[in-house]
Structure 1
Amino acid sequence: MTPPHGPRVLCAGLVTLDIIQTVDQLPRSNVKQRALGLSVDFGGPAASACGVAAGLGAAEARLLTAIGHGPVAEAVKTYLRRAGVVAVDLAGREVEEAFGASTVLVEQDSGDRAVVSTNAADVPLLLDAVEIGQADVVLLDGHRMELCLAVARAARAAGKPVVLDGGSWKPGTAELLRLVDVAVVSEDFVAPDESLAALMRRCGVYAFGQSLGHRSWTLDVAGQRHVIDVVEVPSGEMVDTVGAGDVLHGALAFAIGQWGLDRVVDACRFASEKASDSCRGMGARGWLAGPSGRKEPGLTF
């Protein structure tokens, strides 16, 4: 039964600290230039998707991840809390700064971007604390694979739909796919030695597709193909494309949690619309109105 105030969404995977600067044009080497704007917020596929689900009205948006301790880690937790995300930090008490970090430059007129990232610290996680609670849907990003596998197994045992944000192929992906109901992967996702369709069918994924940025794409549902159109954002309304893929997956999980797997095509079309909407604001959540009715994308200067 769908909760009265939106679905309960559980996400598992990566959180980062993102520093986003807007510039006139992306810099060449050995050039120093002044930024037009600065935004500091949390990022990461699972974390951003969780923030989007919260912004869309999820009854609960819970994130299983590793953050750690220390002043910067506490800032990440603050940003998550401000976005309505309930963060469960599975890093041990002795771990500092288990999250990753990204520096993002966004070209003001085009919305084009350049991203430099560090991977999250490879730390042991407290997997005994993993539980899915009353979640209506689970979203995984494939980072921290051991965690994603544990959450997927728990979700499968509880009969909850599992959605995968497949940003790229990682060790353990094939095993994870056997526990996934819906997989929407990026253009960078390349399976070794077989086509995407062959891989997904071999692993028993119910619905799968490969998003193509601003181009329409196809969702395969139990062998039937459905076109997912992408709404083009006029150049005059484009702010940036940062996090659009995370918006797609957060909105997709929200919609599946609300409507169920029977409406997965509708859910993908809803998610595609929200991903386009997000390009009109800064970052993955700059387009979302906060509780006060104003947009609250972390700290913006």
Structure 2
Amino acid sequence: MAVCWFVGLTTLDVVHRADAPPARNQKVTATRQDVAAGGPAANAAVTAAALGGRAVLVSALGAGPVAVAAGADLREHGVEVFDVAGAGFALAVSAVLVDDATGERSVVSPDGALARAPAPAPGELDALPHPDVVLLDGHHPALARAVLAWIATASPRPRVVLDGGRWRPVFADLLPVADVAALSDDFRVPPDAGGAGAGEAGAAELGDDPLAAALALGARAVVVTHGADPVEWRTAAGAAGTVAAPRVEARDTLGAGDAFHGALTAALAHGAALPAAVAQAAGVASARVAHVGPRAWLTHLPQPPQLPLPQP
């Protein structure tokens, strides 16, 4: 069984669905409520586990009641949780509103800004099952850098997938080691960004092209999602292409990008080539968008999952 690590943010999502978002100083009555673990790394891990992989979440949860609820949801969905946080860590709670008319979500969350996750103690990562692929979302920089240092000496070296929803300073360290940088179309590299692979021109010279900027900073391949539009991919070797996502009615867009990243990571861990992995991920993300609720969609994944067998 392929093993994937998902390194980064966990939250507890409180999700309300309503006929329309409230106006300023207005209350609305929800038509549905769900509570589930959230965060890019956590949601991606749930997706990978649902696809039959061994998903290990390396994150900070803590021991409070919010963490207990999030951890129970993750374990119920097959995720192995390695918690680097102590008892005093305050897990973030995300308030989510999904518009019933459009399926679009609005989120208010502290993410990892109110409580910093520590790096794991020396040797702790060695006790985890050796990963085929490691996904990093960059939300907890100390944790990300500790895993990066572990990867540098790991044998065999796992492939590295970077989840880039929006720029974070730690990405200047993560992009040069990314085998695949999976970016949203909102991702932009700031003018002052630098990195080992930036070269003389630097990423700032590349304007609004996130694929070229990520490659300039050292990523070996880049994937950019555009909502319902085709997914772009490009490699440092010059190969490029697009993959169309299956057309579905958007019922709930919460976590669609996370589902894409989890499926992409799982497919790469099973040995899929990049275009095939992107196609598989696009199909899973479409399934996520087509169904209401943070977990109900998992029963509607393409069956059987179109993943290749792990390589011996």
CA deviations 1:32-60 (Å, max 9, x no partner) are 121000000000000000010011111x1
CA deviations 1:257-295 (Å, max 9, x no partner) are 0115xx0110011101110111122344321129xx9xx
CA deviations 1:129-153 (Å, max 9, x no partner) are 2345321111111110221122233
Give TM-score, length-normalised by structure 2.
0.84
Of the candidates 215, 227, 247, which is equivalent to residue 242 of structure 2?
227
**Do the aligned partners of 1:23 and 1:105 also contact (CA within 8 Å) in 2?**
yes
Name the CA distance, whole Å, in 2 between partners of 1:76 and 1:202. Answer: 38
**Do the aligned partners of 2:21 and 2:97 also contact (CA within 8 Å) in 1?**
yes
Name the CA distance, whole Å, in 2 between partners of 1:225 and 1:215. Answer: 16
Name the CA distance, whole Å, in 2 between partners of 1:241 and 1:188. Answer: 16
TM-superposed CA distance for 1:156, in Å, is 4.3
Give TM-score, length-normalised by structure 1.
0.87
Of the candidates 231, 234, 249, which is equivalent to residue 217 of structure 1?
231
Task: Give ranges in structure 1 of 5+ residues lacking alignment.
Answer: 294-301
Name the CA distance, whole Å, in 2 between partners of 1:201 and 1:136. Answer: 22
1:250 paired with 2:271, answer no
TM-superposed CA distance for 1:24, in Å, is 0.7
Q: Which has the bigger relative contact order, CA under 8 A and spacing at least 6?
A: 1
Query: 1:281 is aligned with what amino acid?
Result: H
Identity of aligned residues (%): 37
Instruction: Tell me the equivalent position of 1:287.
Output: 297
Instruction: Tell me the equivalent position of 2:9.
Output: 14
Instruction: Tell me the equivalent position of 2:133.
Output: 137
**Do the aligned partners of 1:230 and 1:273 also contact (CA within 8 Å) in 2?**
yes
Query: 2:247 is aligned with what amino acid?
Result: E
Alignment RMSD (CA, Å):
1.9
**Do the aligned partners of 1:17 and 1:42 also contact (CA within 8 Å) in 2?**
yes
TM-superposed CA distance for 1:122, in Å, is 1.8
Name the CA distance, whole Å, in 1 between partners of 2:251 and 2:121. Answer: 39
**Do the aligned partners of 2:119 and 2:146 also contact (CA within 8 Å) in 1?**
no
1:179 paired with 2:194, answer no
Q: Which runs of 4+ in 1 moved over 4 A?
A: none
Query: 2:93 is aligned with what amino acid?
Result: A
SS of aligned partner of 2:177: coil
1:155 paired with 2:170, answer no
1:1-301 correspondence runs (5 A): 3=1, 7-58=2-53, 60-93=54-87, 95-97=88-90, 99-120=91-112, 121-128=115-122, 129-131=124-126, 133-158=129-154, 159-193=157-191, 194=204, 195=206, 196-221=210-235, 222-234=237-249, 238-260=250-272, 263-289=273-299
Name the CA distance, whole Å, in 1 between partners of 2:132 and 2:247. Answer: 31
